[in-house]
Structure 1
Amino acid sequence: MSIQAQRARYVPVEQGFNIVRPSIEPQAFEQQKACAFATDAATGIVPLDLSSSLGTDYPATTPFMLARYVSVRAGAHLTCTFAASGEIWAVLRGKGRVEREGETVGWRDGEILLLPGGVASRWVAEEDAVLWMVSDEPALAFLGVRPQAAHHAAIETTLYRHDDITRELQSLYHRPMAPDIAGRALFMASTRTERLGTCLPALTLTLNAVRPGEAQRPHRHNAAALVLALREAGCASTIGGRTFPWTQHSTLLTPAGAAHDHRNALQPTSDTRDDDIALALIVQDGGLHYYGRTMGFSFT
């Protein structure tokens, strides 16, 4: 028998149908945040890794996404390469620049960058900096594939500037909300993904705001979500029956299919300040589900 034939396996339907994987629990990654923001934090990466729970032999926060906090001390640099189709970076503190393949982009707190994956990046900090990064590395690792070369990448380097984000948020804060709208959200896209309505082909990126007295209606969808709280106000999320108060720069995990909502308990007033409006950056593996027609969104 040839070696190729010896590799063949035949699995009875009882074992191959309706395969069950370990469940994923909603949670907050407070310890990882504390490590990244510690006054004595060294330049380095803090992964939000649940591979032991997911049963994978590669780091993963959800089956298709991996999130990290990244610290870069003033005057230091960090060089990294990720096997992803693309990378989402949010600057939580500090300022500096990123250098990659002859391209240099400056960044500061409150800005967001999209970078093609598979390219070496050199992050240089002018001030002590903390960034939050999400990629689709687990999806590529599961499939056993590598990123495309940069000129064939799904995205180009894209910068969402602080001033532009601030302007767009002012419009979002005051936008009328119809009863059938899931939430007060702004989708982020780029030139190569605008027609898809997503940030990366596989991932969506939104800024979600919750005004005082407002709530995103309880709902569920087949996309898992990573929620980065940028401004707490009086907001909390209830995910799968568990309540998680928002604390600045904490990451919450909403598992796929889990019922959830976000509520701002502050009382509305006639002169609501921006600081009273809760704000979060949310990454979902929604691009996969939109493309596969499997998003499964519903109010609960």
Structure 2
Amino acid sequence: MNATVLNAPVDMADLPMQHPRAPASAAQARARFFNSGNAFNVKLPEVPARLFSAPPEDRFGVFDCDQSRALECGFAATTPLMLARYVRIAARDALLPLDVGATGSVWYVIAGSGRLSGGADGFAFGTGDVFLLPGARGYRLEAGAQDLLLWTVGNEPQLAFERAQPAPLAQATIDAVHYTAEEIERQFALIFASGTRDDTSGRALIFSSDRQAAARNLTPTLTLSFNTLQPHTHQRTHRHNSAAVTLVVQGEDCHSVVGDAQCPWAPWATLVTPPGAPHSHHNAGSQGARFLIVQDGGLHYHARTMGFEFLEGVA
């Protein structure tokens, strides 16, 4: 055998993690070293595409759309940076305390009415309302005369990953914001009375606030859009680097295609679209469809990595 081959150096990628030779302090002893051959081959589980159902009507409490086992992370997560939940409260009962361990969380009132108090500005809310809460402890959610069902998404996993805490309310980057169903319908009317261009991504209402208006986001890292789909149409196949968590609000005979999987819609189901996955939404029914989408898009907009592109031409 050729001696040159016998004496060939170890491939850089096969070198094990390196330690300092003679650390003189505890701080030096903590150092670890990799190289450009083995530092970038970390394999993490992919984000599963999945449908979660709303909890049965006779079950009350907080229900996480949790994929932490599949993601191999030690905290509840729907995607690596977002956690979706359903919250059901019995009539005239209350959820206390409600701690929002996120920079901010968006809430959609699926059914019922109630009142929010504690933590930030208090207000009454009803079916079809959307509201945004900054991270804080001690919120109180109280149901009205009927059972209350809510859907919420926050960036708890993003903070848990770094073991970080939300900023105190006085230093938070967002405030409590309340978007009433009546105002949402008024905004939809404006949108549907307007024209579109070929490169417009459907007719959708984008939520923001006075403090986030420059970035057109809901929070510094999350975006929220209320998408629509006319009967017998579909949203063209597209992709983006943000993950998406989608609530089915309205639609019959509708489905989404994520990668190669067809995902039939069900009332108030939550659909998880993995980052970068080609996907499309289809409405074969006779009424317009609506679906509420939360993405970690603010993070990608800031990093200039959104990567939105259509994968299908205009019909």
TM-score, shorter chain, exceeding 0.5: yes
Asked if the contact 1:212/1:234 (under 8 Å) is kept, the reply is no
- Alpha-carbon distance between aligned partners in 2 of 1:157 and 1:221, rounded to the nearest angstrom: 28
CA-CA distance at 1:203 after TM superposition: 0.4
3-state SS in 2 of match to 1:15: coil
How many corresponding residue pairs? Answer: 286
CA-CA distance at 1:174 after TM superposition: 4.3
5+ residue gaps, structure 1, are: 268-275
3-state SS in 2 of match to 1:14: coil
Specify whether residues 164 and 181 from structure 1 end up closer, same or farther in structure 2 by C-alpha distance, changes over 3 A only. Answer: same
CA-CA distance at 1:264 after TM superposition: 1.2
Asked if the contact 2:113/2:143 (under 8 Å) is kept, the reply is yes
- Alpha-carbon distance between aligned partners in 2 of 1:17 and 1:102, rounded to the nearest angstrom: 43
Confirm whether residue 14 of structure 1 aligns to residue 32 of structure 2. no
Specify whether residues 266 and 39 from structure 1 end up closer, same or farther in structure 2 by C-alpha distance, changes over 3 A only. Answer: closer
Letter of the 1:204 counterpart:
T
3-state SS in 2 of match to 1:101: coil
Task: Give the match for residue 299 of structure 1.
Answer: 310
Q: 1:108-131: per-residue Cα shift (whole Å, max 9, x none)? A: 110001011133211110120010
Confirm whether residue 214 of structure 1 aligns to residue 233 of structure 2. yes
Match of 2:128 among 98, 105, 110: 110
Match of 2:252 among 233, 247, 252: 233
3-state SS in 2 of match to 1:113: strand
Confirm whether residue 58 of structure 1 aligns to residue 103 of structure 2. no
Specify whether residues 150 and 197 from structure 1 end up closer, same or farther in structure 2 by C-alpha distance, changes over 3 A only. Answer: same
CA-CA distance at 1:156 after TM superposition: 0.7
3-state SS in 1 of match to 2:187: helix
CA-CA distance at 1:23 after TM superposition: 0.8
- Alpha-carbon distance between aligned partners in 2 of 1:8 and 1:80, rounded to the nearest angstrom: 40
Match of 2:160 among 141, 159, 170: 141
Task: Give the match for residue 198 of structure 1.
Answer: 217
- The answer to which of 11-20 and 70-79 deviates more is 11-20
Confirm whether residue 157 of structure 1 aligns to residue 176 of structure 2. yes
User: Larger radius of gyration, structure 1 or 2?
Assistant: 2
Task: Give the match for residue 273 of structure 1.
Answer: none
3-state SS in 2 of match to 1:172: helix
Confirm whether residue 289 of structure 1 aligns to residue 306 of structure 2. no
CA-CA distance at 1:241 after TM superposition: 1.5
Runs of 4+ in structure 1 deviating by more than 4 angstroms, as ranges, are none
Asked if the contact 1:119/1:150 (under 8 Å) is kept, the reply is no
- Alpha-carbon distance between aligned partners in 1 of 2:78 and 2:264, rounded to the nearest angstrom: 20
Letter of the 2:289 counterpart:
A
Asked if the contact 1:67/1:135 (under 8 Å) is kept, the reply is yes
CA-CA distance at 1:27 after TM superposition: 1.2
- Alpha-carbon distance between aligned partners in 2 of 1:192 and 1:210, rounded to the nearest angstrom: 30
Confirm whether residue 73 of structure 1 aligns to residue 84 of structure 2. no
Match of 2:63 among 46, 62, 80: 46
Match of 1:4 among 8, 24, 27: 27
- Alpha-carbon distance between aligned partners in 1 of 2:285 and 2:115, rounded to the nearest angstrom: 37
Q: 1:63-118: per-residue Cα shift (whole Å, max 9, x none)? A: 11000000111121112112210111110011110111373211111000101113
Letter of the 2:264 counterpart:
P
- Alpha-carbon distance between aligned partners in 2 of 1:137 and 1:202, rounded to the nearest angstrom: 11
Match of 2:205 among 175, 178, 186: 186
Confirm whether residue 29 of structure 1 aligns to residue 48 of structure 2. no
Match of 1:125 among 132, 143, 146: 143
Letter of the 2:89 counterpart:
V
3-state SS in 2 of match to 1:13: coil
5+ residue gaps, structure 2, are: 1-23
Asked if the contact 1:89/1:132 (under 8 Å) is kept, the reply is yes
Letter of the 2:51 counterpart:
A
3-state SS in 1 of match to 2:298: helix
Alignment of 1:217-296 (within 5 A): 217-266=236-285, 276-296=287-307
Match of 1:93 among 107, 111, 115: 111
Asked if the contact 1:92/1:130 (under 8 Å) is kept, the reply is yes
CA-CA distance at 1:151 after TM superposition: 1.4
Percent identity between matched residues is 38
CA-CA distance at 1:256 after TM superposition: 0.1
3-state SS in 1 of match to 2:137: coil
Asked if the contact 2:104/2:132 (under 8 Å) is kept, the reply is yes
3-state SS in 2 of match to 1:75: coil
TM value normalised by structure 1 = 0.91
CA RMSD, 1 decimal: 1.4
TM value normalised by structure 2 = 0.87
Asked if the contact 1:228/1:280 (under 8 Å) is kept, the reply is yes
